[in-house]
A and B are shown apart, each in its own frame.
Chain A
Amino acid sequence: MIVPILTLIFSVKAGAQEERNANLIKSERLGWEYEIRAGINLGGTSPLPLPREIRKIKSFNPKFNGAVEGVVTKWIGSGWGISGGLKLEEKGMETGADVKNYHTKVIKGDQKVEGYFTGYNSTSVNMTYLTVPIMANYRFNSRWKVRAGIGTSVLLGGDFNGYVKDGYLRNGTPVGEKVTFSEDGRGTFDFSDDLRRMQWSAMLGCSWRAYRHFSVVADLSWGFTDIFKESFKTISFNMYPIYCNVGFAYTF
């Protein structure tokens, strides 16, 4: 979804570049700076620290998560500036782990069991957010600038699902009846409906201006609200989206 949008923005941009008109130059003199950034999000949605239930990470796929952002910065003097943006981004990953005594709820056929699972757990996360980052900026020189702030995100759509296999689930409690799962007798879960709509995160980033209009950017976004609603108790620990965005910026 994001890749076509990106292409669109850049093709529009290529045309607009030549028409960089007097207004833009004027507003730049007044301390306004306009940017379009595009990149990919790499990271994970993870409990912190890793809970003891997770015994071994067997696979991790960061997926290709697109992100595009429009940013306006107002430079207010002595290198300081304040910026606001609007960012459409994907945050996702796929991970497989051996877990022990991991509280979950799975479905197999018409049966639903909740309890403590020991075995292999595969989780796939895919979330699309609309984020508004508000950040303080500092410009060392014409090439380097750094920024820090907070982001407010609204979940536009999200999936959190996966399966368990090669293990057993104790129904209800760790001493409950054993329900076994094999390679071809997987149990699946889908907690997509339990994802929280609003997400807050701390953000930290920097830009390096390579050419007059093009910069390389990197931004770390550290979510500090659980990705699930408070009422969601199936997974016994909180999970936070921690993603690093790397990409390019075009400055008008």
Chain B
Amino acid sequence: MPAMTLTAGVLFSSCIREAAKNAEADILSCTVDGVELPQTPVVTNDRISFYVNTKDMEKVKSLAPEFTLTEGATIDPASGTVRDFTTPQQYTVTSEDGQWTKSYIVSFSSSDPMNEYHFEEHKPYVYVDTWTGEVSYKFDIMYEPRDNADTLFWSSGNPGFMIANSKAPAADYPTAHCDNGYVGKGVKLVTRSTGALGAMFGSPIAAGNLFLGKFEINMGNTLLSTHFGEGVPCAKDPLAVSGWYRYKRGAQMTDKKNKPIEGEDNFDIYASFFEPTDGVPYLNGTNVKDTTSKSTTIIKFGQVPEDQKIADGEWHQFWFMLDQVSGKTVDEKKLRDGKYAIAIVLSSSERGAEFIGAVGSTLYADELELYYKESE
């Protein structure tokens, strides 16, 4: 039998044809001269975010970023073209086989954190079915406009919910905008059922969540999908977070097998200020609250205290300090150079990551503020 396997292998190998030209059109990495980059630019499937020190923001008027692409792909305008990045610029990448194109928005922003989050803006996540050409509005993406026409995007687990519930309207997603915020619009997080299929596979609920960072589906371990604080540099020493919320619990708590359990649901809002390293470039569901282990990269952590969590469905203000993790200090030089990052996380079920919560638990939030020490 092994001899035969070998023969078959050789037989097949001789039939392997020349590879087709690449169909992918990715920007794999990028660099730029003429300005110091305190942190590695963040590359997603359709956005590239460069962060520079505030003192360098003047220089973004004329920069020529260079891109590494999928082999054989081309980019327009060409890599190395001088452009004005006071507003984000668009690039189009065409695959080697010429069949596929992808647009990227390239932006430069200050590595200082935003200190006010108003939740006034959202845009649709648009999905185009390549085969039928059908365009559908899947869910809301919350964002905050920034000074130089750049925006800060909030992330959520909505892309994960979309895969299991492709037919759901945007308002039925766990995370959506709401028109009745505390001031103007706000954000609404609802713990949703993922349906019979979800229950069968041990993820019967999806808590509404919203965070600063990036979401990238990880099929093996959903806790790794949330990249907390990725691409959210924080060149200021954060002190406290405040904001407005109203919360109502869902009726019945269930566990990951969708079995009713004792107890009541609660929301969660917290912030982790950390130092991205090569090994741990961002936090994820496994370590975002880990302030005790030796390997933690978290410098400061804060969370809405239990006695401030009121579930009467009325607007209340919350406020919490970020406390220094024992044994950690804020290095002034690293701070100035934008070597630290921050993740602010909101969830409609505090144990949502373990798929424990009550369907229907609803958290509205608005007017978040991050207080930080002004540099001398």
* Residue positions of A touching B, CB distance < 8 A: 42, 44, 49-57, 59-62, 100-101, 108-113, 116, 170-182, 184-187
Nearest 10 Cβ contacts at the A-B interface = A185-B220, A108-B219, A174-B23, A110-B201, A52-B20, A175-B102, A57-B12, A110-B198, A109-B201, A111-B163
- Identify which of B2-10, B77-85, B275-283, B297-305 touches chain A: B2-10
Least CB distance, B44 to chain A, in whole angstroms? 9
- The reply to whether the CB of B313 lies closer than 8 angstroms to some CB of chain A is no
Q: How far does the alpha carbon of A57 sit from the alpha carbon of B24 in the complex, in Å?
A: 23
Known contacts A110-B164, A111-B163, A112-B164; decide if A57 and B16 are in contact (CB<8 Å): yes
Q: How far does the alpha carbon of A108 sit from the alpha carbon of B160 in the complex, in Å?
A: 12
Contact B19 A55, beta carbon cutoff 8 Å: yes
Q: Which of B19, B129, B218 contacts A100 (CB 8 A)?
A: B19
Measured between beta carbons, the chain B residues less than 8 angstroms from A184 are 220
Contact A181 B220, beta carbon cutoff 8 Å: yes
20 additional A-B pairs beyond A52-B17, A179-B217, beta carbons within 8 Å, are A42-B4, A49-B15, A49-B17, A51-B17, A55-B19, A56-B13, A57-B9, A62-B5, A101-B23, A110-B197, A110-B198, A111-B163, A111-B164, A112-B163, A170-B24, A173-B100, A175-B25, A175-B45, A181-B219, A185-B218
Q: How far does the alpha carbon of A154 sit from the alpha carbon of B219 in the complex, in Å?
A: 37
- The reply to whether the CB of B194 lies closer than 8 angstroms to some CB of chain A is yes
Measured between beta carbons, the chain A residues less than 8 angstroms from B25 are 174-175
Q: How far does the alpha carbon of A176 sit from the alpha carbon of B19 in the complex, in Å?
A: 21
- The reply to whether the CB of B159 lies closer than 8 angstroms to some CB of chain A is yes
Among B52-90, those with CB < 8 Å from A are none
Least CB distance, B192 to chain A, in whole angstroms? 13
Q: How far does the alpha carbon of A162 sit from the alpha carbon of B240 in the complex, in Å?
A: 51
Measured between beta carbons, the chain A residues less than 8 angstroms from B20 are 52-53, 100-101
Contact A110 B220, beta carbon cutoff 8 Å: no
Contact B217 A177, beta carbon cutoff 8 Å: yes
Q: Which of B5, B22, B163, B222 contacts A113 (CB 8 A)?
A: B163
Q: Which residue of B lies closest to A181 (CB)?
A: B219
Known contacts A50-B16, A57-B12; decide if A172 and B130 are in contact (CB<8 Å): yes
Q: Which residue of B lies closest to A100 (CB)?
A: B19
Least CB distance, A54 to chain B, in whole angstroms? 7
Q: Which residue of B lies closest to A187 (CB)?
A: B219
Chosen A-B contacts, 6 in total, with CB atoms closer than 8 Å, are A101-B23, A172-B129, A174-B23, A176-B45, A177-B45, A180-B218
Q: Which of B13, B17, B127, B217 contacts A57 (CB 8 A)?
A: B13
How many B residues touch the partner, as a band?
Answer: 35 or more
Interface of chain B, main secondary structure: loop
Measured between beta carbons, the chain B residues less than 8 angstroms from A174 are 23-25, 95, 99-100
Q: Which residue of A lies closest to B202 (CB)?
A: A109
Q: How far does the alpha carbon of A172 sit from the alpha carbon of B159 in the complex, in Å?
A: 13
Known contacts A110-B164, A110-B197, A177-B45; decide if A50 and B15 are in contact (CB<8 Å): yes
Measured between beta carbons, the chain B residues less than 8 angstroms from A52 are 17-20
Contact A175 B220, beta carbon cutoff 8 Å: no
- The reply to whether the CB of B290 lies closer than 8 angstroms to some CB of chain A is no
Contact A60 B100, beta carbon cutoff 8 Å: no
Least CB distance, B303 to chain A, in whole angstroms? 29
- The reply to whether the CB of B200 lies closer than 8 angstroms to some CB of chain A is yes
Q: How far does the alpha carbon of A100 sit from the alpha carbon of B72 in the complex, in Å?
A: 15
Q: Which residue of B lies closest to A233 (CB)?
A: B131
Least CB distance, B347 to chain A, in whole angstroms? 19
- The reply to whether the CB of B109 lies closer than 8 angstroms to some CB of chain A is no
Q: How far does the alpha carbon of A163 sit from the alpha carbon of B232 in the complex, in Å?
A: 36
Measured between beta carbons, the chain B residues less than 8 angstroms from A108 are 219-220
Known contacts A62-B4, A181-B219, A185-B219; decide if A110 and B200 are in contact (CB<8 Å): yes
Least CB distance, B174 to chain A, in whole angstroms? 14
Least CB distance, A187 to chain B, in whole angstroms? 6
Q: How far does the alpha carbon of A48 sit from the alpha carbon of B202 in the complex, in Å?
A: 40
- The reply to whether the CB of B375 lies closer than 8 angstroms to some CB of chain A is no
Contact A175 B101, beta carbon cutoff 8 Å: yes
Q: How far does the alpha carbon of A108 sit from the alpha carbon of B222 in the complex, in Å?
A: 11
Contact B221 A175, beta carbon cutoff 8 Å: no
